[in-house]
Amino acid sequence: MNMSEALPPVALRGFEQFRAFWEPRWNKYAVKVAPGQFYVSNSDMVITTVLGSCISACIHDPVTKFGGLNHFMLPSSGGSEDMNRSMRYGFFAMEQLINELMKFGCNRDRLEIKLTGGGDMMGSGFNQIGQQNIDFILQYLKDEGLKLLSSDLGGDRARKVAYFPLEGRMLVNKLDHREDQRLIEEERSFRVDVDSHLDDSDVELF
């Protein structure tokens, strides 16, 4: 099948703003998820993102065949108050994706989760936001009793992720270090934006 023979997948309600593009490598349409976003689908397509210190949780219900991917980073956590803000944001990012899947009939007890990201993008552990993200997501899954099928976390390299929501398949490609500075700047900007906007009116816990 080629692009001329395929129709773009119909976006679910709430995801109409994402623009599908043809990805010849996979011979499928794809959407790209940026920091702070998530996407859910039951179409034969691919969801992509690029991660440095951020985390993506790829979540699939094998019965309904719905799947989704998020892309989140905890805000900075220099003190107890900042740490509380960080945990609230990470919790919100996960519950946002899980609750969206449940809207389409997915069962929380069936969800199969794959994780990737959390790289040390500064090298030698100077910037520990990647490890903070890893610690958060592993503790979250433990606390919530959710099923972790596989993970590719940590290290010092950025990752390009391709997730196939219909199948629940996650592919990870480690990127060359030449990509590092661009990702560091992008994630720093995202973290500052989260820090400046995160307050009680922004986060509604479920």
CB 32 within 8 A of CB 130: no
Q: Does 82 have pLDDT greater than 70?
A: no
CB 106 within 8 A of CB 68: no
Q: How many CA atoms lie less than 13 Å away from 153 in the CB half-sphere?
A: 21
Q: Does 7 have pLDDT greater than 50?
A: yes
Task: State how far the Cα of 60 lies from the Cα of 166, in Å rounded to an integer.
Answer: 8
Question: Could you state, in order of their start, the residue ranges of all structural domains in the chain?
Answer: 3-12+27-168+176-197
Residues with catalytic function: 54
Task: State how far the Cα of 36 lies from the Cα of 45, in Å rounded to an integer.
Answer: 21
List, for residues 16-42, the tens digit of each pLDDT value.
999 999 999 999 999 999 998 999 999
Task: State how far the Cα of 116 lies from the Cα of 137, in Å rounded to an integer.
Answer: 10
Highest-scoring range by mean pLDDT, 6-10, 152-156, 183-187, 196-200: 152-156
The 3-class SS string of 111-142 reads: CEEEEEECCCCCCCCCCCHHHHHHHHHHHHHH
In Å, how far from its chain's centre is CA 129?
A: 15
CA nearest 77: which of 131, 132, 135?
132
CB 34 within 8 A of CB 91: no
Provide the pLDDT for residue 189: 79
Q: What DSSP state is assigned to residue 6?
A: -
Provide the pLDDT for residue 3: 60
pTM for the model stands at 0.86
CATH architecture for the domain at 3-12+27-168+176-197: 2-Layer Sandwich (3.30)
List, for residues 42-80, the tens digit of each pLDDT value.
999 999 999 999 999 999 999 999 999 999 988 765 555
Which element (helix H / strand E) includes 159?
A: strand 159-164
CA nearest 158: which of 135, 181, 136?
181
Task: State how far the Cα of 102 lies from the Cα of 13, in Å rounded to an integer.
Answer: 14
SS3 39: strand
Q: Does 85 have pLDDT greater than 80?
A: no
Supply 92's token pair: 């919100």
List, for residues 116-167, the tens digit of each pLDDT value.
999 987 665 545 889 999 999 999 999 999 999 999 999 988 999 999 999 9
* CB-neighbour burial class of residue 191 (10 A; exposed 0-12, middle 13-18, buried 19+): buried
